[in-house]
Structure 1
Amino acid sequence: MVLTALARLEPPLDPDAPEARRWVVDELADPVYRAAEPTLFDLAAQAVRDWIASLFSGASGLPVPTLALIAVLVVAGLVGLGLLVFGLPRLRRRAPAGIALFDDDDLRDAATLRVAAERAAASGEWALAIEERFRALMRALVERELVRVHPGTTAHGMARAAAVPFPAHGPAVEHAADAFDGVRYLGRTGDADAYAEVAALDAELGRAHPLTAPTTPIGAGT
């Protein structure tokens, strides 16, 4: 800092005006001063506090209960605005509705997906293992021409389609779709038991005989 450097100089200190101005500018440019400056949030919060304090100063002439109600409504409105600005985008990013089961460039067959699922399970990556095994389950039904998928088809859309040739397995497939959405979009970690359920369902459907012919295509986002 400039002041520290000046303290080491021998008196007397008699700078001319330009030199003194340069010392001041250099000193104020020190990061210590910038770190101490209030943030925009600090300024906004202080303005709200000052405004609320002014309500209770007696200058407004309103009764105290009315002032308290106004203050509560203002604070609640600010909290709601904060949630609207910062909270809803996060919720929208996490919402599973309408998100496709398969990426447009994911062309892996059921066998490849099962290998990926087993590899993830062996590493303890249960969320990834559940995702890949559910995809393998559905890809196998597509390969058997029991369901047809369009771009944008969701996990639950596929589950409903799978219940047509396998009505007895409908609830189990819906449950597996819930597990997929939970680990894929809701931040759940999954576990060995959840993976075992999806893997067992995949194997069971592979042995089961369908009751109907291939279904009609599933619309995007269903």
Structure 2
Amino acid sequence: MDSPPLDPDRDEARELLEEELTDDQYQRAFTGPLRDALDDLWAWLTEGALSVGGLEIPYGPVVLVVLIAVAILLCILLVRPRLQRSGRPTDELLNAETGLSADDLRARAGEHLGAERFADAFRDLFRAVVRSAEERALLAEQAGRTASEAARDVAALFPGQADQLHRCGELFNLSHYGGRPLSAQDVERLRALEETLRQTEPSPGQGAPFGAPRLVVPE
């Protein structure tokens, strides 16, 4: 025989609903395995403690300090180098150490080439091109000169090699700031160009040191 339908009042209906929702089947459906795992983790962080010299330290603050330290370390290792690179001029020549001659730079380029550090060899040879022009009093020594500026200034002295010089300036920038790998052939082409420039006299009217004062005749 069927039971008569229930007709509870408001309070009775609320109590029946609360009893029904306390059933484990509803609780599992509401929480799920992810919620259970989070609850277990939170309980471990808040209730667990690490004993240090008789002092009980909750796991929560310890884990928080470790996470902050890891975040700081990642910023130092990953973010800071990128910010430093972005803060530099895009094509800075990074002049060789004070006191190095063109011969010194050529020798160091040879060492890099022997060790197959082609990009380093290329950049030192390019610096040797600029330093050689300074030693020949074709360019005035200028701190902070960029690779693009150096290529432009030397190309003005040797217009026959202008295209090659501008290309070498671009490769300097791409290798140093863009991480582009260079080959032994790139180094050999620059070496041949550097030797050609050493054996070539600048074009007429281009031999005065760059940046030297010029005589201006009033019109």
TM-score strictly above 0.5: yes
Aligned residue type for 1:202: E
Match status 1:142 vs 2:144: no
Task: Output aligned runs, 1:89-168, within 5 Å.
Answer: 89=83, 92-93=86-87, 96-97=90-91, 99-103=92-96, 105-168=97-160
Of the candidates 201, 207, 213, which is equivalent to residue 213 of structure 1? 207
Higher relative contact order (Cα pairs below 8 Å, separated by 6+ residues): 1
Aligned residue type for 2:174: G
Counterpart secondary structure, 1:102: coil
Deviation at 1:26, TM superposition (A): 3.7
Deviation at 1:182, TM superposition (A): 1.7
Identity within the alignment, %: 22
Summarize deviations over 1:95-129 as a string: whole Å, max 9, x none. 524x24415x4321111110100110010001110
1:95/1:191 Cα in 2 relative to 1: closer, same or farther (>3 Å)? Answer: farther
Contact 1:95 1:185 in 2 (8 A): no
Counterpart secondary structure, 1:89: helix
1:136/1:32 Cα in 2 relative to 1: closer, same or farther (>3 Å)? Answer: same
Q: Which runs of 5+ in 1 are unaligned?
A: 1-22, 41-84
Match status 1:186 vs 2:184: no
Deviation at 1:168, TM superposition (A): 1.2
Q: Which runs of 5+ in 2 are unaligned?
A: 1-46, 69-78, 213-219
Contact 2:48 2:58 in 1 (8 A): no
1:31/1:195 Cα in 2 relative to 1: closer, same or farther (>3 Å)? Answer: farther
Match status 1:172 vs 2:164: yes
1:36/1:210 Cα in 2 relative to 1: closer, same or farther (>3 Å)? Answer: closer
